[in-house]
Amino acid sequence: MTESGFTVDVDQNEYLPEGGREVSAIVTVASAADAAGLASPGPAGAEPDGSAEIIIIDCSGSMEYPRTKIAAARAATAAAVDVVRDGVLFSVIAGTNLAFSVFPADGSMARADASSRAAAKQAVAGLRAGGGTAIGQWLDLARQTFARYPARLRHAILLTDGKNQHESSEQLAATVSQCEGFFSCDCRGIGTDWEVKELRTISTALLGSVDIVPDPSGLAADFEAMMANAMGKQVADVVLQVWTPQHATVKFVKQVAPTVDDLTDRRTPSGPQAGDYPTGAWGPGESRDYHVGVEVTPAGLGDVMLAARVKLLAKSASGTDVLGQGLVRATWTDDEALSTKINPGVAHYTGQAELAAAIQEGLEARKAGDEETATAKLGRAVALAHQSGNEDTAKLLAKVVDVVDVETGRVRLKKQVEDADEMALDTRSTKTVRARK
Partner 1 sequence: MTANPGAEVTCPSCGAPTAVSDSFCEACGTELAPPMVSTAPPGYRAECPVCSVDPEAPPSAITAEGYCESCGRKVPSGRDHSELDLGLLAGVTDRGLRHTRNEDAMALATADAPGGPVAIAVVCDGVSTSPRPDDASLAAAQASVRALLTSARRGDDPAEASLAAVQVARQALIGIGSPGEAPSATYISAVVGSDAVTVCWLGDSRAYWLSTGPDTARLSTDDSLAEEMVARGAMSEAEALASPQAHVITRWLGADLADPEPHVVRFEPPGPGVVLVCSDGLWNYQPGAPGLAQLVLPAALTDPLGAAAELVKFALGAGGMDNITVVLAPFPLAPFPEEPPHPKTVPVQRQETLPRRTPP
SS3 category, 318: coil
> Which residue among 89, 242, 296, 357 contacts partner 1 (CB under 8 A)?
296
Query: Smallest gap, in angstroms, from Cβ of residue 248 to partner 1?
Result: 7
Please, what sign has the CA dihedral across residues 60, 115, 185, 433?
negative
Nearer CB in complex with partner 1: 232/245: 245
Query: Smallest gap, in angstroms, from Cβ of residue 301 to partner 1?
Result: 6
**Is the bond preceding residue 258 a cis peptide, omega within 30 degrees?**
yes
Query: Smallest gap, in angstroms, from Cβ of residue 23 to partner 1?
Result: 10
Span interacting with partner 1, options 28-36, 187-195, 204-212, 244-252, rule CB under 8 A: 244-252
> Which residue among 19, 36, 43, 246 contacts partner 1 (CB under 8 A)?
246
Number of residues that bind partner 1 (CB under 8 A): 22
Nearer CB in complex with partner 1: 23/83: 23
Q: How far apart are CA 393 and CA 384, in angstroms?
A: 10
Which amino acid is it at 380? R
CB 352 within 8 A of CB 432: yes
Q: How far apart are CA 61 and CA 54, in angstroms?
A: 22
Report if residue 327 touches partner 1, rule: CB under 8 A. Answer: yes
Nearer CB in complex with partner 1: 294/396: 294
| β-strand pairing of 15-16 with 319-332 | parallel
> Which residue among 39, 98, 119, 306 contacts partner 1 (CB under 8 A)?
306
Nearer CB in complex with partner 1: 262/295: 295
Q: How far apart are CA 377 and CA 372, in angstroms?
A: 9
Query: Smallest gap, in angstroms, from Cβ of residue 331 to partner 1?
Result: 7
> Which residue among 244, 270, 390, 432 contacts partner 1 (CB under 8 A)?
244
> Which residue among 73, 307, 397, 411 contacts partner 1 (CB under 8 A)?
307
CB 184 within 8 A of CB 151: no
Report if residue 13 touches partner 1, rule: CB under 8 A. Answer: no
Span interacting with partner 1, options 81-89, 222-230, 238-246, 251-259, rule CB under 8 A: 238-246
**Is the bond preceding residue 104 a cis peptide, omega within 30 degrees?**
yes
CB 201 within 8 A of CB 178: no
Give, as ranges, the residues between 23 and 62 that touch partner 1 (CB under 8 A). Answer: none
DSSP secondary structure letter of residue 431: B
Span interacting with partner 1, options 90-98, 246-254, 400-408, 422-430, rule CB under 8 A: 246-254
Report if residue 305 touches partner 1, rule: CB under 8 A. Answer: yes
Nearer CB in complex with partner 1: 303/419: 303
Q: How far apart are CA 59 and CA 55, in angstroms?
A: 12
Which amino acid is it at 164? N
User: What are the distances in angstroms from CA 169 to CA 163, 173, 206, 435?
Assistant: 10, 6, 16, 37
Report if residue 4 touches partner 1, rule: CB under 8 A. Answer: no
Instruction: Calculate the CA 255 to chain-centre distance.
Output: 9
Report if residue 89 touches partner 1, rule: CB under 8 A. Answer: no
| β-strand pairing of 51-58 with 89-95 | parallel
Report if residue 331 touches partner 1, rule: CB under 8 A. Answer: yes
CB 176 within 8 A of CB 139: yes
Report if residue 380 touches partner 1, rule: CB under 8 A. Answer: no
User: Can you give the binding site for partner 1, defined by CB under 8 A?
Assistant: 244-248, 273, 296, 299-307, 309, 327, 329, 331, 333-334
